[in-house]
Amino acid sequence: MMLVRMNMKTVLGALCVAVLLFTLFWGHCGDFSRRPLGSVLSEHGHGADDIECIINGEYSVSCRRDRERDDVYVPFSLVHKYFEIYGKITTTDGVEKFEWSHSYGKIYHPKKKYDPRGTFTTFENYNVEVRDRVKCISGIEGVPISTQWDPKGFFYPTQIAQFGLAHYSKFLTEAEPRRRIIDDGEKHIENWIVSKDAFMVREYDSESQTNILRFSTSDHVSSQVWLKVNISQDFVLSADVMMKPNSSMTVVLQNKEKKETVYLHYVASTQLIYAQDDHIYYGIGVEQKWRKITRDLIIDMQKGWILQDRPKRRSPRNKFKISSVILSGTGGLDNVTVSSSEHMAQFYAAASWLVRAQRGRGGWPVPARRRVAAGVADLAPGWYSAMSQGHAISVLARAYSRSGDVTYLQAARRALYVLDVPSHAGGVKALWMDKFVWYEEYPTKPPLFVLNGFIYTLLGLYDLHVIEGENSMSLAKKMFDDGMTSLKTLLPLFDTGSGSFYDLRHFTLGVSPNIARWDYHATHVNQLYLLAGLDDDPILLNTAKRWEGYMQGKRAAHN
């Protein structure tokens, strides 16, 4: 109705009078941005009275009334708690300022149209493996192990795909890595120190058809083959290895500042990770064949510390150096290299895992129980996620386009199947009001309509469609188009007028809305800017712009 306006005006009138009086009396209400700073009193100190501020009639805060400046000053601690505004003192050229931030989260305005062969959204800024919920990088698979919903750890397809996509994107955006060959089996390098009851030879290996290092040590603890090195700055170690069970390659890291030595043992075992004091063990498998391992030593060290509940440290990359490599047991070694990064090896580790782990229906089941929301049945281990499927397609499409290996393309195509199976039948597809398809990140009953996971799924569909040939009328293209219709239709329902909803659980469960915290909101905005480059429906760009404004405190108008 439009008719209570007068009544409201009566109420508002009283308030307006108050505000007006306030404005007139204290002068610069609504005028603060144009006030020359420090123009009233530049000397240290002002006359100001304490005044009790009654907040909504509920509690009191001590404020200050400045009669000289004709304003009441409220403590920022109140603003922070009441509105979740962030503030901090910064110092520039010796001058302290107070920075008021409405939100955190960064918006990336795309410089060019999204390309399924290029970086994946803004993932070059992601570092999956440092996340707390990554237990460690598997020594056998080279992909992260998640503890997000199960402290034992499990392979979470979404996380693994993000790991791959982040490294792929970093590969495309970062400078060429520094690489230093420690030993490629070809040159005789004298530095290896072989204890009396051990041996090391350099010999031609018929399987790998190249010269390699072969080593063997006795059971005696002092029996070792080791190499002293002194490498700072770069910490990604890669090597071709073939070792008998329980044999190991140990990389020793030393803190340059204080007496601290960390031993990273890469052991021919099936154990995921084990750590005691300064010794951290990663199983790299027991298969008797040559394989390449690629390890970020700093990540491996930090995950060992976390396993022992030791505090995370700041910038360990600056404080440590690689001081030696120790071989123990029996095995072969080749192409030992230290690099500043090996993003493509890590990307392909993810892509290969996805090919190996894919099930018959084309899905990657999540082996952990997931409690999504109160009032909704848990997702039992083995559930599928549209986001996993979409992210996996994005990895596989890139792996195919880069390598030409059709295995990746076939796996990507198979991944579509689960997306078309309704959640109630074990798939991930929901329908909004029996009409609009939604690929569910969490296929609950009733559906939740999580926004960001849906858009990531759409990107996977787009990637596959483009990789298959942009003019093809593929299944991926149809599913993408259907999803975009849903998105453009339902997008307004995610608008709070000052932010965005993470999902539509308030509609499907009838509960309090689930507001997206600022980083998810920023993800929404980044995703919409990306999609606005693929689809010229103005709702995408308009929504992206409006939602970006919300991050600086702008709000939708009220009537």
Find the binding residues for a copy of itself in span 109-138 (CB under 8 A): 125-128, 130-134
Tokens of 224: 């070792």
Per-residue x/- track, 373-412, a copy of itself (CB under 8 A)? --------------x-------------------------
Q: Which residue's CB is nearer to a copy of itself, number 205 or number 482?
A: 482
Output the smallest distance, CB 45 to a copy of itself, in A: 5
Residue ranges in 424-443 that form contacts with a copy of itself under rule CB under 8 A: 433, 435, 441
Pairing between strand 261-267 and 279-283? Answer: parallel
**516 binds a copy of itself, rule: CB under 8 A:** yes
**257 binds a copy of itself, rule: CB under 8 A:** no
Output the smallest distance, CB 174 to a copy of itself, in A: 17
Output the smallest distance, CB 54 to a copy of itself, in A: 5
Cα radius of gyration (the chain) = 29
**359 binds a copy of itself, rule: CB under 8 A:** no
Question: Is the torsion defined by CA of 350, 168, 170, 335 positive or negative?
Answer: positive
Contact 100, 108 (CB under 8 A): no
CA distance 345 to 168: 9
Residue ranges in 30-59 that form contacts with a copy of itself under rule CB under 8 A: 30-33, 35, 37-38, 40-42, 44-59
**83 binds a copy of itself, rule: CB under 8 A:** yes
Question: Is the torsion defined by CA of 474, 449, 396, 459 positive or negative?
Answer: positive
Contacts of residue 182, defined as CB under 8 A and 6 or more positions apart, other chains included, come to 227, 229, 325, 336, 337, 338
Strand, coil or helix: what is 193? Answer: strand
Output the smallest distance, CB 522 to a copy of itself, in A: 8
* Phi/psi of residue 495, nearest 5 degrees: -90, 120
Residue ranges in 13-32 that form contacts with a copy of itself under rule CB under 8 A: 15, 18-19, 21-23, 26, 28-32
Contact 392, 157 (CB under 8 A): yes
| Residue 557 CB coordination number (10 Å) | 5
Q: Which residue's CB is nearer to a copy of itself, number 119 or number 238?
A: 119
Residue ranges in 494-513 that form contacts with a copy of itself under rule CB under 8 A: 495-499, 501-502, 506-507, 510-513
**311 binds a copy of itself, rule: CB under 8 A:** no
Q: Which residue's CB is nearer to a copy of itself, number 31 or number 219?
A: 31
Instruction: Name the nearest CA neighbour of 294 among 335, 331, 258, 246.
Output: 335
Output the smallest distance, CB 323 to a copy of itself, in A: 29
Q: Which residue's CB is nearer to a copy of itself, number 172 or number 539?
A: 539
Among 110, 517, 534, 541, contact with a copy of itself (rule: CB under 8 A): 517
Query: Hey, which bits of 433-500 come out as E strands?
Result: 436-439
Q: Which residue's CB is nearer to a copy of itself, number 26 or number 192?
A: 26
Tokens of 273: 């990770």
Among 440, 523, 532, 548, contact with a copy of itself (rule: CB under 8 A): 523
DSSP state of 557: P
What is the total count of residues that contact a copy of itself (CB under 8 A)? Answer: 137
Q: Which residue's CB is nearer to a copy of itself, number 88 or number 187?
A: 88
**519 binds a copy of itself, rule: CB under 8 A:** yes
Cα angle at 335 between 332 and 341, to 5 degrees?
130
Among 119, 138, 147, 148, contact with a copy of itself (rule: CB under 8 A): 148
The span from the first CA to the last CA of the chain, in angstroms, equals: 12
Q: Which residue's CB is nearer to a copy of itself, number 265 or number 505?
A: 505
**364 binds a copy of itself, rule: CB under 8 A:** no
Amino acid at 91: T
Q: Which residue's CB is nearer to a copy of itself, number 46 or number 228?
A: 46
Output the smallest distance, CB 513 to a copy of itself, in A: 5
Q: Which residue's CB is nearer to a copy of itself, number 55 or number 380?
A: 55
Among 280, 344, 450, 476, contact with a copy of itself (rule: CB under 8 A): 450
Residue ranges in 266-305 that form contacts with a copy of itself under rule CB under 8 A: none
CA distance 354 to 395: 9
| Residue entry with tokens 């709070």 | 496
> In what helix (H) or strand (E) does residue 354 lie, and over which residues does it extend?
helix 343-357
Among 24, 75, 207, 359, contact with a copy of itself (rule: CB under 8 A): 75
Residue ranges in 179-238 that form contacts with a copy of itself under rule CB under 8 A: none
Length of the chain: 559
Widest CA span in the chain: 99
Strand, coil or helix: what is 96? Answer: strand
Residue ranges in 524-553 that form contacts with a copy of itself under rule CB under 8 A: 539, 542, 546, 552-553
Q: Which residue's CB is nearer to a copy of itself, number 98 or number 309?
A: 98
Question: Is the torsion defined by CA of 45, 46, 47, 48 positive or negative?
Answer: negative
Among 24, 100, 151, 173, contact with a copy of itself (rule: CB under 8 A): 100
Q: Which residue's CB is nearer to a copy of itself, number 24 or number 201?
A: 24
Output the smallest distance, CB 242 to a copy of itself, in A: 35
Output the smallest distance, CB 63 to a copy of itself, in A: 6
Strand, coil or helix: what is 494? Answer: helix
Concatenate the DSSP letters of all residues of 250-315 into one string: EEEEEESSSS-EEEEEEESSS--EEEETTEEEEE----SS-EEEEEEHHHHHHHHHHHTTPPP-S-
Q: Which residue's CB is nearer to a copy of itself, number 292 or number 488?
A: 488
Pairing between strand 95-101 and 86-92? Answer: antiparallel
Q: Which residue's CB is nearer to a copy of itself, number 241 or number 516?
A: 516
Burial level of 24, CB count in 10 A (0-12/13-18/19+)? exposed
DSSP state of 370: B
